[in-house]
Amino acid sequence: MELRCSLQTYEWGKVGEDSEAALLARGGDPGVEILNFTPYAELWMGTHPNGPSRLTSSGENLHDWIQQNPQVLGESVREQFGVQLPFLFKVLSVNKALSIQVHPSKSQAEELHRLLPDIYKDPNHKPEMALALSTFEALCGFRPLDQIRQFLDMIPELRGCVGQDNADALSTCSEDCQQEVLSQCFHSLMTKADDVITIALTSLLSRLASLDESSRGMQMAELVERLHSQFPGDVGVFGPYLFNHVTLQPGESLYLAANEPHAYLSGDCVECMACSDNTVRAGLTPKLKDVPTLCRLLSYICEPASSKLFVGSVEDEFTTIFRPPVPDFAVVKIIVPEGRTYSMCPRQSASIVIVTQGSASLAELRLRRGSVFFLPADNTLQFTVTSPEPLLLFQAMANV
């Protein structure tokens, strides 16, 4: 069943036809109008009430249709999650950095929802996965401790905000206490008065501008200047010195578990997540900053950037599946060359599929760039690629 999906116009999105999310939305629904000066950030595919998908044939809300036809979800999904899709599938087009944020675990989300229901509106966790459609930048997880120590030595403005005593403690602490000391450093930075941060960033930007190219590269000048131009005076501008700067190439994937700090910076991706709105923000945002909660939730695990890449498992010559360590979702990537016929593997879960490149034909449906469709559990599709370029599609489902 083909779907019409919701296009979200958040201010950080790419503008007009630069937005892959907007172009795919129009590909799936020719009635979508793309305006030149409007930022199009996300295409939502699923049953979330803030942007539900609808059946193209009838206009019916997908959530309502599933309630009336629960068998389409698959027995395993119904047993574990009830009569609902446990995931939300998206395309993101990022022009401006998203907030430095963390998502709580299931038990933490339940506690936050109980204590602060106006802010944390549901009791669910929100693990998420991003698969790059273009070169895609993110900050993700704390850097290895040696790198953070080097930046504290190299960046006097950062050291001043963290505090000399905290910086000294981090440089000398043993492995068994490094997470505790790092948490003290991070808390000290994030709770500094706004005027102190503003003065420090003004000094930092002035100093970076005076450096030679080699020193600018070592001190992340281009990224820091870009973030400051987007969020002047925001403490999150120091983020690149603490968090891994990850650049994904098309087809590469990133998995973000609970309590892992991250911020998407630029590019286009397919994203899948558990159904939740629980986001704790603390930098690079005009929205509510809940610094105490974020500092409390963070895991403070230091790992290299390479550890953040999430590698899928090859199922056959055309199919790779990405199964994170949660039951809420998995994502399948399928690339089929020109002229080839392919049958998709039946899955125990209902799924949502989007075509991001190429076109194909099958008996009851024509697949084109931007096509989105719902596939009931235990069903398959056989299609023949008709475009001169390979067909690329992504399939989201429960990980059951």
Copy the structure tokens of residue 369.
Answer: 């760039």
The CA-based angle 297-300-306, given to 5 degrees, is 120
Block residue for tokens 């400051």: 228
Q: What is the pLDDT of residues 292-328, one digit of tens each?
A: 999 999 989 999 999 999 999 999 999 999 999 999 9
User: What is the pLDDT, as a whole number, of residue 56?
Assistant: 94
| Domain-terminating residue out of 284, 308, 332 | 308
User: What is the pLDDT, as a whole number, of residue 398?
Assistant: 98
Instruction: Give 3-state DSSP helix, strand, coil % of the chain, rounded to 5.
Output: 35, 30, 40
pLDDT of 120 over the 90 cut: no
Q: Is 101 annotated as ligand-binding?
A: yes
Please choose, from the candidates 364, 363, 369, 362, the residue with its C-alpha nearest in 3D space to the C-alpha of residue 384.
362
Pick the residue with more confidence: 289 or 96?
Answer: 96
The whole-number average pLDDT for the span 111-133 is 90
DSSP 99: P
DSSP 91-143: EEEESSPPPEEE---HHHHHHHHHH-TTTS-SS----EEEEESS-EEEEEEEP
Rg of the Cα atoms in the chain: 22
Give a yes or no: residue 223 inside a domain: yes
- Domain carrying residue 105: 3-73+87-140+247-308
At 178, which helix (H) or strand (E)?
A: helix 178-190
235 and 255 in one domain? no
Copy the structure tokens of residue 102.
Answer: 């963390």
Give a yes or no: residue 82 inside a domain: no
CATH number at residue 326: 2.60.120.10
Q: What is the pLDDT of residues 242-286, one digit of tens each?
A: 999 999 999 999 999 889 999 999 999 999 999 887 888 989 998
Q: Is 103 annotated as ligand-binding?
A: yes
Percent share of the chain, pLDDT over 90: 89
Contact indicator for 97, 284 with CB cutoff of 8 Å: yes
272 and 214 in one domain? no
Q: What is the mean pLDDT of the chain?
A: 96
pTM of the model: 0.94
251 and 230 in one domain? no
3-state secondary structure of 389: coil
196 and 117 in one domain? no
pLDDT of 32 over the 80 cut: yes
317 and 300 in one domain? no
User: What is the pLDDT, as a whole number, of residue 288?
Assistant: 83
3-state secondary structure of 360: strand
176 and 108 in one domain? no
281, 296, 340, 347: the catalytic one is 281
343 and 272 in one domain? no
Contact indicator for 128, 272 with CB cutoff of 8 Å: yes
134 and 23 in one domain? yes
C-alpha pair distances (Å), 14 with each of 26, 105, 266, 269: 15, 30, 9, 12
DSSP 246-302: EEEPTT-EEEE-TT--EEEEEEEEEEEEES----EEEES-SS---HHHHHHH----B
User: What is the pLDDT, as a whole number, of residue 8?
Assistant: 97
Contact indicator for 21, 91 with CB cutoff of 8 Å: yes
Strands 341-343 and 330-336: unpaired
Which of 56-65, 158-167, 226-235, 360-369 comes out lowest in average pLDDT?
360-369
User: What is the pLDDT, as a whole number, of residue 302?
Assistant: 96
Give a yes or no: residue 79 inside a domain: no
Q: Is 175 annotated as ligand-binding?
A: no
Give a yes or no: residue 81 inside a domain: no
Task: Give the separation between CA 306 and CA 311, rounded to whole angstroms.
Answer: 11
Give a yes or no: residue 192 inside a domain: yes
Dihedral sign of CA atoms 153, 156, 157, 160 in order: positive
318 and 384 in one domain? yes
Burial code of 312-321, b = ≥16 C-beta within 10 A, e = fewer? beeeeebbbb
Give a yes or no: residue 80 inside a domain: no
Contact indicator for 172, 211 with CB cutoff of 8 Å: no
Residues paired with 352 in a beta bridge: 374, 396
Q: Which amino acid is residue 100, in one-letter code?
A: I
Task: Give the separation between CA 239 and CA 236, rounded to whole angstroms.
Answer: 5
Pick the residue with more confidence: 152 or 126?
Answer: 152
Give a yes or no: residue 78 inside a domain: no
User: What is the pLDDT, as a whole number, of residue 267?
Assistant: 99
3-state secondary structure of 267: strand
Task: Give the separation between CA 241 and CA 158, rounded to whole angstroms.
Answer: 8
| Domain-terminating residue out of 308, 326, 341 | 308
The whole-number average pLDDT for the span 58-75 is 97
Q: In the chain, how many domains are there?
A: 3
125 and 16 in one domain? yes
Confidence of residue 142 (pLDDT cuts 50, 70, 90): very high
Block residue for tokens 């992340």: 220
Q: What is the pLDDT of residues 284-298, one digit of tens each?
A: 998 888 999 999 999
DSSP 302: B
Please choose, from the candidates 369, 374, 379, 313, the residue with its C-alpha nearest in 3D space to the C-alpha of residue 344.
379
3-state secondary structure of 224: helix
CATH number at residue 218: 1.10.441.10
Task: Give the separation between CA 361 and CA 385, rounded to whole angstroms.
Answer: 7
Q: Is 222 annotated as ligand-binding?
A: no
| Domain-terminating residue out of 191, 212, 239 | 239
Q: How far is CA 355 from the centre of its chain?
A: 19
278 and 335 in one domain? no
Reply yes or no on whether 366 is catalytic. no
Instruction: Report the interhelical angle of 145-154 vs 178-190 (nearest 10°).
Output: 40
Contact indicator for 310, 131 with CB cutoff of 8 Å: no
Task: Give the separation between CA 128 and CA 89, rounded to whole angstroms.
Answer: 10
Give a yes or no: residue 92 inside a domain: yes
3-state secondary structure of 319: strand
52 and 168 in one domain? no
